[in-house]
Amino acid sequence: MKNIFLMGLFCLALAACGSQEGKKEVKESSTPVSEEQKEQVEKVSSEIKTATEKIHQKTEKQLQEVDSLLQKI
């Protein structure tokens, strides 16, 4: 039973990290893009990266807590 639980948590951790590994290369657009738009994209990208890192850290911490609890059982 605890193995199934651990597998589920592991899948959640992979899903949280998968967005970083699954990035696709974006081709250059023929549509002109303003500097303001580029800055907005960079800002949002940075915010997404920061949020993903926080999720990853929180997931790792939760996995460690669950592992600790399972070892007590």
Domain boundaries, the chain: 1-15+44-73
DSSP class of 21? H
> How big is the CA angle at 64 (ends 22 and 5), to the nearest 5 degrees?
75
CA gap 39, 30 in Å, rounded: 18
Give 31-66 pLDDT, tens digit per residue. 777 888 889 999 999 999 999 999 999 999 999 999
Q: What is the pTM of this model?
A: 0.51
pLDDT of residue 18: 60
CA gap 12, 21 in Å, rounded: 15
CA gap 60, 43 in Å, rounded: 26
DSSP class of 22? T
Q: What is the mean pLDDT of the chain?
A: 78
With a CB cutoff of 8 Å and minimum separation 6, the contacts of 27 are: none
